[in-house]
Structure 1
Amino acid sequence: MNNFDFEVLVVGSGAGGSMAAYELTKAGHKVLMLEAGRDYDPKTETPMFKRNGEAPLMGAGNSDKDFGFYDATVDGGWQVPGEPYTAADGSEFLWWRARMLGGRTNHWGRYSLRFSEHDFKGKSRDGLGADWPFDYEDIAPWYDKTEALVGVCGTNTGLDDMPPSSDGILQPPPKPRITELLIAAAAKKLGIPVAPMHRAVLTRPLDNRAACFYATPCGHGCSIGAAFQTTTSLIPMAKATGNLQVITDAMVKSVDTDEHGTVTGVSYVDKKTSAVHQLKAKVVILAASACESARLLLNSKSARFPNGLANSSGQVGKNLMDSTGANIGAMVPALQGRPIYNEDGHTANHLFIPWWGHKAQERKELDFPRGYHFEIGGRFSEPSAGIAGNVQGYGADLKRQVKQNYGAYIGFALRGEMVPNEHCYMDIDPELKDKWGIPVARFHWKWSEHELKQVAHGLNTAKAIFAHMGADVGELPTPEQAILKGGEIIHEVGTTRMGASPKDSVTNQWGQSWDCPNLFVMDGGVFASNPHKNCTLTIMTLAMRNSNWLSAQLKQGAI
């Protein structure tokens, strides 16, 4: 490490870890970052200009590339060779891991919606789960800072589920597509609003990153830095301070403590040599992802911490949540045969359907708590392995049918809030270890009636919107059939949740462990609830806010 004298050690290079490193290095602290995956440079490695026609199977997903042949996750997915996980009692849970510098930020959807006052105080409204130990007003200024730094496009809508950004923070959103305007008109007939999606994609240049030119899939990675990922922004910006050093292929196996229970550093395996190294640090920040950070804590046992580090509350690994998910779609006759033109945009939906039901829930008109939103798909996009619609025959007639259906299929993806329950948690498998000798995670999972009723409501709502577009979705599946598996949305959070008391939480509002003052968690594990919105913007916002607080504590000598 060239005798790099660091003060803070960060485990993980994704949203939370990179934001923490950026904020701390900018404040003058020396930071060492450990990443379990390999080095990655999207400026030279991304296949962003590759087309499906150049790929095997027309770019379709497979066991090695779950999201398609050119997906930006170069090493990782639902399964990682040599790094298994298990499920207990017939549970089904999918655990996505991106073993590469930048983590999941290289391929995430980049939806960047703020949590609202409703989201932070869910328990106060309906008695379920846990409240966050601060109010929306406490984090609002940090959302502004994060959105401005990251670069988020969108508009202030005035809707109660979409808190406004300060003037001048958001970049302009792209124009809605014809398909999205049709959906908006249909939804309006049901009193349901449609709004511009907030997305971490630049529509104006920012620092040394270029604006999106609406031509390549964001999921491939972005060499020009328009689609946010830490490998083109926070990591190089932190390195530019001269205060950050990064070690890749470093599989952390434990957080180490002394006889007094004070965290002293970590032990990690060099994946290239299999050698085990120990590093000392004044402060350790875990940002390895919710389940990986919890696994580290549960595996860091000692005489003082027999149930795992920072686990006096018994909550490490508990309160595991993911977003609910369900898909529904149909061929829309009004869109068939329309003139073909470039409708790419920034590849994801420009408009979406935010949650509109807070008032109805206050009036007790709905049979489920919390909310959901619809992400919508449908446009003239790059052809892939699938063909939309019920086509028959071959030759010229088949081509005519395919062309007639092109751009006419619309899909809704429901994403909803899950309430934590006692059946959903992770612990350590008592027998199985990964190839590095580290005991693996074991998952326990069961959706509750809250989520099933929510999905039922969403399916019926989507069917009604499609009907107003003249489209028939057919017979609806049951909620049990429609709901996606736990972990499948890749929004797992809550396993090291924050709170106001060490009795029922792992960290305080700053991500600081109650048990070990020089141990922090800055990934989605600290979430007290899992609102229906993507978690990445809030992970980064908390990491910025909490690292700023940590810096002040270090400078005051309080830690």
Structure 2
Amino acid sequence: MDKNIYIIKSTEIFDAIVVGSGISGGWAAKELTEKGLKTLMVERGRPVEHRKDYVGEGVKAWQMPFRGKVEKAIVDEQHYVQQKCYAFNDATKHFFGNDKDYPYSTPKDKPFDWIRGNQLGGKSLLWHRQSYRWSEHDFTANARDGHGVDWPIRYKDIEKWYDHVEIHAGISGSAENLEILPDSKFLPPFEMNAVEKEMKARIEKKWKTRKLIMGRTAHLSVPAPHHTAQGRIQCQTRNECQKGCSFGAYFSTQSSTLPSALATNNLTIATNSVVHSVIYDPKTNRATGVRVIDADTLETREYFAKVIFLCASTLGTTQIMLNSKSESFPTGIANSSGALGHYLMDHLYGAGASGRVEGFEEEYYSGRRPTGLVMPRFTNYSEMNPKFLRGYQITGSAMRQGWDTFSQQDGFGADYKKAIRSAGSWIFNLGGSGEMLPRYENQVSLHPTLKDKWGIPQLHIECDLSENDWKMFEDIADTCAEILEGIGVKDITKKIDAKKDWHPGLAIHEMGTARMGKDPKTSVLNGWNQAHDVPNLFVTDGSSMASCASQNPSLTYMALTARAADYAVQQLKLGKI
């Protein structure tokens, strides 16, 4: 990467500033620069160069000092929250935030685990890449049951933008013509193994409203010509994804949107720049730039632009907005509604069931496929359940038990060693992703006294599970077990992780806190992700979401960002912002 694109100080007035460089920030930079805007991307973390800085890639567990485990002293001091993430290990730890440097507080009885990736590329280097469109049913959910404000957009408003981002990013999957889960512009799907094909046949024969399909994922199963032109090639099914992928096989800022933005010669980047607040001019009612603190030297500086895009992640963006106080906005910029910081949501993960599949001893699979199976939502859609509102989709997979299961079993001698070298039983597992209702009391605020190392007030997070959430967890576990029993799976066990070690935040799908809405009195943003109160301020990450559906949200962030960037450029050219 050309080092000349990086700056520290600048007196230039840019056309646009994009705060954050993850999935949303990368898309904002790509779209704005391709439309001719001189754009500054501001990232609080260090620069990460594609390929060169994937230091854990290709490193095997037995080549690491603790076989992939992170030294306890390092975890205890720096990663006591981050280590709870499934992707955290010795080969990926450098892509996770340092908890010591990024503290936050919660009530003792309401733990929240905030997973962060503070570097160029953000969590786009770490995400699980599941990519699903939302449906008309999702965009009308709040209006139907009265929880949360009605979305100011509908599926038709975002449909062409889904097309736009999918074609560029590369989404593998199968066309199913399902209203509840609209089809994308697909690359070929990854293949089910023999047991999964059989389980699919059994499920769809027994339940006409339940369909099992291959998970839709931002991986190049078969690259299109424009992907190879980006320097991206086919997924090697290595399961090395969170270490960084030099093949560019999965979508990330580094592999896809950043190269596109750089190709325009319109992008400048300021890394190690912690955004303190948005600068606001009450005379023009416009945001004029951002105040930043150097991550290393603690020196303060300012950058200026005509349009500001906040894409610093749900809680990161909201922290910046809350800290952007003025006489006009004493509780945070664009917060005349008082909604800023409220209606925090995360998906309900960790409930499900698994069991043993008899037979298929001669069957196995090749490679480590980057996606599993999905059963699109049917609860409170095609099958009604009066016990709770909203619903969930189910994910799953079939695999054979490996040698590592023997670490939990007794054994001795030649037969034991032979068993370790043989594939074990087939296991089929199912788990849910449930929708959390938007609730005012689930909120974030600035702590009145505690600050981080840069002198910025820490976030105080209050997020708890509701009665509706708990009922959904129970139903997910019961339904998954019911499905397994109905298709002949044996030795079934149910689980609900939220009863022991799962807390909100660990789904890493936090949303809300600067929500979209039709009414400026009850929402922060309009239907273009534009602040009601400050016309040249746009927010396109998860904080903008008015509800959380049950699908993974990142594809929707991409589409909303591309749509908002197109609108912002139009408005800028018309002189309206």
Q: TM-score range by the shorter chain?
A: over 0.9
Aligned match of 1:372: 392
Residue of structure 1 aligned with 2:439, choices 400, 403, 421: 421
1:35 paired with 2:58, answer: no
Residue of structure 1 aligned with 2:327, choices 295, 303, 313: 303
Aligned match of 2:96: 76
Q: Distance in 1 between matches of 2:264 and 2:402?
A: 41
Give the root-mean-square deviation of aligned CA atoms.
2.3
Q: Deviations over 1:413-460 (max 9, x none)?
A: 321111112331111111110011100100111111221111111101
Aligned match of 2:34: 26
Is this contact kept in 2: 1:332–1:469, CA < 8 A?
no
Aligned match of 1:142: 161
Aligned match of 1:133: 152
| Count of equivalent residues | 548
Is this contact kept in 2: 1:331–1:389, CA < 8 A?
no
Moved more, 446-455 or 44-53: 44-53
Q: Distance in 2 between matches of 1:294 and 1:6?
A: 23
AA aligned to 2:502 is L
1:210 paired with 2:209, answer: no
The change in CA–CA distance for 1:390 and 1:338 in structure 2 (over 3 A counts) is farther
The change in CA–CA distance for 1:186 and 1:4 in structure 2 (over 3 A counts) is farther
Q: Normalising by structure 1, what TM-score?
A: 0.92
1:353 paired with 2:375, answer: yes
Q: Distance in 2 between matches of 1:335 and 1:129?
A: 48
AA aligned to 1:99 is N
Q: Distance in 2 between matches of 1:399 and 1:542?
A: 54
State the 1:403 CA deviation: 4.5
The change in CA–CA distance for 1:171 and 1:339 in structure 2 (over 3 A counts) is closer
Aligned match of 1:230: 253
Is this contact kept in 1: 2:59–2:91, CA < 8 A?
no
Aligned match of 2:16: 8
Is this contact kept in 1: 2:40–2:267, CA < 8 A?
yes
Q: Normalising by structure 2, what TM-score?
A: 0.89
Aligned match of 2:109: 90
Aligned match of 1:55: 64
Is this contact kept in 1: 2:45–2:118, CA < 8 A?
yes
Q: Distance in 2 between matches of 1:491 and 1:300?
A: 25
State the 1:259 CA deviation: 4.0
Q: Deviations over 1:145-177 (max 9, x none)?
A: 110011101122122221133xxx311111112
The change in CA–CA distance for 1:419 and 1:201 in structure 2 (over 3 A counts) is same
Aligned match of 1:280: 304
Q: Deviations over 1:27-69 (max 9, x none)?
A: 1000000001111123123233222333344324773454242
1:269 paired with 2:290, answer: no
Is this contact kept in 2: 1:186–1:465, CA < 8 A?
no
State the 1:343 CA deviation: 4.1
State the 1:307 CA deviation: 1.0
Residue of structure 1 aligned with 2:315, choices 275, 279, 291: 291
Is this contact kept in 2: 1:337–1:403, CA < 8 A?
no
Matches within 5 A, 1:222-261: 222-260=245-283, 261=285
State the 1:523 CA deviation: 0.6
Q: Distance in 2 between matches of 1:105 and 1:407?
A: 35
Q: Deviations over 1:256-305 (max 9, x none)?
A: 11343432211101112211111121111110001111111111112221
Q: Deviations over 1:513-549 (max 9, x none)?
A: 1111111111111101001111110001000001000
Which structure 1 residue ranges, 5 or more long, are not aligned? none
SS at 2:235 equivalent: coil
SS at 2:399 equivalent: coil
Aligned match of 2:3: none
State the 1:70 CA deviation: 5.1
Paired-residue identity, %: 34
Q: Distance in 2 between matches of 1:421 and 1:303?
A: 28
